[in-house]
């Protein structure tokens, strides 16, 4: 029997949804305090309790759960401590905190009976575990144990969605496992949640002798030492021990499975060789037809049916010329990695710089995909887009030749902390012809707001200020706090009135109804306006915060953010 301490150990991580907080004196904040008191007073009776407090926009939903093997005193103390800590660390409208023996969550949204898997790795916890001497065998036993425990927790009503058990790896090594689901979800949702948790457990803790994956609706933990209380009535003990005559039966099963696998592999290999030969022959035939229909020094053009024809502006280039231009695809000339291969800088004999996309032989992109990419890019030829100059098709090599862009794209300058200082950040930036009057008005508005704020629209997804940059600008506009939106570079170099006018025009460009957005000619006129033309009041932007699904951001992780702006052309 394990003794649990009065002071529960904090898992050292907290999750919130990053929404704006209510004032401390608001009804919502009062309801949160009442809710947490109710959770502290009632959860220990059954180990699980959920309730709601308040009405309308100030209604708050709450849930608390204790581990199924703890006694009532330990449960009450843990929930009380978690309820106190969650208000210190999570001053938010949606928060969750895990202790070692319990978890507490509240939200302004109704999350009862909804399974949303949010499992993460508490690195400080998992990294303290030792390493298994035989990782492969240890992992196999672990997966079998956790799968059986998950089935029992999800589909055995007598377990009340909490099961523990153990399995022998060797005479000296035993794995102890624990799984638990919140009692407001169904058995199938419990099983799905635990399946996801097992995948994450293998990803974070392979070769470790212990690990834990907590989530909003389920938790999974294992260790080489007993960490739960055997005396709890909730425990379902799982023993993976040998039985009489098991060794003989095991040998027969191994022999049968081995023979079956060998036969299957032989059959698969024969089938694969035949399929590969057929595919290669078909690809060679298609390639020859493709080359014959598009002779050397011809280019790709499109019929109304999007068939490939030959013209005289986009030549096929032979592989030898491209190898010389790229120094045989030298790493020193490598510009980056694309979706289907690498991109290299090259110099043709006439001194023209090019960018060569070399499709990876390991990718699944074949001749048909190669043809489709040429068709797609040819349809997108535009003076503001990178141009496709030619292509190469020889043997297994499939190459696309583009014009070289030495200055990269616009966002490489706008959001670079060094190169950004080289730009003229005067508000006349957008009036000097840098943006075509044919550019999309909405994209222009997003770029204008990005320039003014110095931030990417994508980086504002689910931050504390708002879900998007547009929502953030709209909120500050309505609160008459527009200057909080402005980048410090602009506040130091541009008149305030000009900056505010640009924010106003940017919001006009991103209005939800396209009919309300001005034309580019109107935008240019408004930017050049000295104040004689009144600016209409903008309406709500296209991306309303009410349409963005809420997710949780965990303080113990460092989520990667795509550096590509949502407003890239």
Q: pLDDT tens digit string along 415-470?
A: 565 555 444 433 333 333 333 343 468 888 888 898 898 887 766 654 555 668 88
Report, as an integer, the average pLDDT of 559-565: 37
Let me know if domain 123-223 sits in CATH 1.10.3720.10. Answer: no
Q: What Cα–Cα distance (Å) separates residue 211 from each residue in 96, 201, 225? A: 20, 7, 11
Q: Give me the residue spans of the domains in the chain.
A: 10-107, 123-223, 299-403, 411-554
CA gap 427, 452 in Å, rounded: 9
Q: What Cα–Cα distance (Å) separates residue 296 from each residue in 141, 299, 310, 349, 395? A: 61, 8, 9, 18, 15
Q: What is the pLDDT of residue 50?
A: 95
Tokens linked to 338: 């694309």
Residues of the binding site: 357
CA gap 177, 480 in Å, rounded: 56
Question: Which among 359, 350, 428 is positioned nearest to 394, based on CA atoms?
Answer: 359
* pLDDT, tens digit, 9 for 90 and up, residues 471-505: 889 999 999 988 888 988 777 778 888 889 999 99
- Residue corresponding to tokens 């904090």: 10
Burial of 188 by CB count in 10 Å (0-12 exposed, 13-18 middle, 19+ buried)? exposed
Q: What is the pLDDT of residue 56?
A: 83
Tokens linked to 24: 């401390």
- Selection from 11-15, 96-100, 235-239, 561-565 with the highest mean pLDDT: 96-100
Question: Which residues are registered as beta bridge partners of 403?
Answer: 354
Q: What is the CATH number of domain 299-403?
A: 3.30.200.20
- Selection from 87-96, 202-211, 440-449, 504-513 with the highest mean pLDDT: 504-513
Q: What is the pLDDT of residue 124?
A: 65
Q: What is the pLDDT of residue 115?
A: 85
Which range among 164-173, 443-452, 492-501, 553-562 shows the weakest confidence by mean pLDDT?
A: 553-562
CA gap 521, 525 in Å, rounded: 6
Which range among 203-217, 254-268, 392-406 shows the weakest confidence by mean pLDDT?
A: 392-406
Which range among 80-84, 175-179, 541-545, 553-557 shows the weakest confidence by mean pLDDT?
A: 553-557
10 Å Cβ neighbour count for 153? Answer: 28
Q: What Cα–Cα distance (Å) separates residue 261 from each residue in 136, 248, 249, 450? A: 20, 20, 18, 58
How much of the chain exceeds pLDDT 90, in percent?
Answer: 28
Say yes or no: do domains 10-107 and 123-223 share a fold: yes
Report, as an integer, the average pLDDT of 149-168: 94
Burial of 342 by CB count in 10 Å (0-12 exposed, 13-18 middle, 19+ buried)? middle
Question: Which residues are registered as beta bridge partners of 179?
Answer: 163, 220
Architecture in CATH for domain 411-554? Orthogonal Bundle (1.10)
Higher pLDDT: 300 or 230? It is 230
Phi first, then psi, for residue 310 (nearest 5°) are -105, 135
Statement: residue 285 has pLDDT above 50: no
10 Å Cβ neighbour count for 7? Answer: 10
Q: What is the pLDDT of residue 13?
A: 45
Higher pLDDT: 520 or 234? It is 520
Tokens linked to 60: 């708050």
Statement: residue 384 has pLDDT above 80: no
Report, as an integer, the average pLDDT of 1-28: 51
Sheet strands (E) in 445-510: none
What fold characterizes domain 10-107?
Killer Toxin P4; Chain A (3.30.430)
CA gap 306, 308 in Å, rounded: 7
Burial of 386 by CB count in 10 Å (0-12 exposed, 13-18 middle, 19+ buried)? middle
The three-state DSSP-derived secondary structure of 192-208 is HHHHHHHHHHHHHHCCE
Residues of the binding site for ATP: 357
DSSP class of residue 537 equals P
* End-to-end C-alpha distance for the chain, whole angstroms: 64
Question: Which among 224, 240, 201 is positioned nearest to 133, based on CA atoms?
Answer: 224
Task: Tell me which H or E stretch contains 211.
Answer: strand 210-214
Strands in 94-99's sheet, in edge-to-edge order, are 48-53, 60-66, 102-107, 94-99, 10-16, 553-554
pLDDT interval class at 220 (50, 70, 90)? very high
Statement: residue 54 has pLDDT above 70: yes
Q: What is the pLDDT of residue 543?
A: 60
Q: What is the pLDDT of residue 90?
A: 58
Statement: residue 201 has pLDDT above 50: yes
- Selection from 133-142, 204-213, 369-378 with the highest mean pLDDT: 133-142
pLDDT interval class at 561 (50, 70, 90)? very low
Q: What is the pLDDT of residue 299?
A: 41
Mean pLDDT for the chain overall: 75
Q: What Cα–Cα distance (Å) separates residue 155 from each residue in 200, 201, 221, 296, 540? A: 22, 21, 19, 67, 48
Relative to beta strand 553-554, strand 94-99 is: unpaired
Question: Which among 568, 425, 432 is positioned nearest to 495, based on CA atoms?
Answer: 425
Statement: residue 145 has pLDDT above 90: yes
Helices (H), 211-294: 246-293
Which range among 126-130, 342-346, 459-463, 519-523 shows the weakest confidence by mean pLDDT?
A: 459-463
How much of the chain exceeds pLDDT 70, in percent?
Answer: 66
CA gap 275, 302 in Å, rounded: 32
Which residues 6+ apart lie within 8 Å of 492 measured at CB?
A: none
């Amino acid at each position: 029997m394990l003794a649990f301490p009065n002071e529960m150990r904090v898992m050292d991580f907290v999750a919130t949804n990053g929404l704006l907080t209510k004032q401390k004196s608001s009804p919502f904040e009062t309801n949160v305090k009442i809710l947490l008191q109710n959770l502290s007073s009632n959860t220990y009776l059954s180990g699980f309790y959920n309730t709601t407090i308040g009405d309308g926009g100030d209604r708050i939903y709450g849930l608390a759960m204790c581990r199924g093997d703890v006694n009532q005193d330990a449960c009450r103390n843990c929930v009380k401590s978690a309820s106190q800590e969650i208000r210190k660390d999570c001053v938010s409208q949606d928060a969750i905190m895990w202790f070692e023996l319990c978890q507490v969550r509240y939200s302004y949204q109704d999350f009862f009976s909804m399974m949303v898997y949010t499992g993460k790795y508490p690195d400080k916890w998992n990294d303290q575990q030792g390493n298994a001497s035989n990782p492969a065998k240890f992992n196999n036993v672990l997966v079998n144990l956790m799968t059986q425990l998950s089935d029992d927790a999800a589909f055995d009503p007598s377990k009340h969605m909490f099961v523990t058990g153990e399995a022998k790896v060797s005479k000296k090594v035993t794995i102890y496992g624990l799984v638990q689901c919140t009692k407001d979800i169904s058995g199938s949702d419990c099983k799905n949640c635990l399946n996801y948790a097992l995948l994450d457990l293998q990803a974070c803790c392979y070769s470790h002798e212990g690990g834990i994956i907590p989530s909003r609706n389920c938790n999974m933990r294992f260790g080489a030492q007993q960490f739960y209380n055997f005396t709890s009535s909730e425990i379902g003990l799982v023993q993976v021990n040998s039985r009489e005559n098991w060794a003989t039966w095991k040998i027969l099963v191994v022999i049968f499975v081995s023979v079956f696998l060998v036969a299957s592999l032989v059959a698969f290999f024969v089938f694969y060789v035949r399929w590969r030969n057929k595919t290669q022959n078909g690809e060679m035939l298609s390639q020859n037809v493709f080359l014959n229909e598009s002779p050397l020094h011809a280019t790709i053009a499109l019929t109304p049916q999007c068939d490939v024809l030959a013209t005289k502006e986009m030549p096929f280039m032979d592989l030898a010329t491209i190898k010389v231009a790229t120094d045989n695809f030298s790493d020193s000339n490598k510009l980056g990695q694309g979706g289907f291969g690498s991109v290299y800088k090259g110099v043709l004999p006439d001194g023209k710089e090019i960018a060569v996309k070399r499709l990876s032989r390991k990718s699944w992109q074949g001749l048909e995909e190669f043809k489709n990419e040429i068709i797609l890019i040819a349809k997108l030829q535009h003076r503001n887009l990178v141009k496709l100059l030619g292509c190469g098709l020889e043997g297994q090599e499939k190459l696309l030749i583009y014009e070289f862009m030495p200055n990269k794209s616009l966002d490489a300058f706008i959001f670079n902390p060094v190169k950004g200082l080289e730009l003229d950040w005067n508000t006349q930036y957008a009036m000097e012809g840098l943006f075509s009057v044919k550019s999309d008005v909405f994209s222009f508005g997003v770029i204008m707001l990005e320039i003014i704020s110095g931030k990417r629209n994508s980086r504002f997804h689910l931050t504390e200020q708002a879900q998007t940059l547009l929502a953030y600008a709209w909120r500050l506009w309505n609160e008459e706090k527009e200057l909080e939106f402005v980048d410090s570079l602009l506040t130091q170099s541009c008149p305030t009135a000009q900056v505010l006018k640009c924010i106003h025009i940017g919001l006009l460009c991103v209005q939800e109804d396209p009919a309300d957005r001005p034309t580019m000619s109107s935008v240019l006129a408004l930017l050049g306006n000295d104040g004689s033309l009144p600016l209409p009041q903008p309406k709500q932007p296209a991306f309303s915060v009410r349409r963005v699904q809420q997710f949780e951001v965990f303080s113990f992780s460092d989520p990667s953010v795509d550096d590509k702006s949502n407003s890239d052309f």
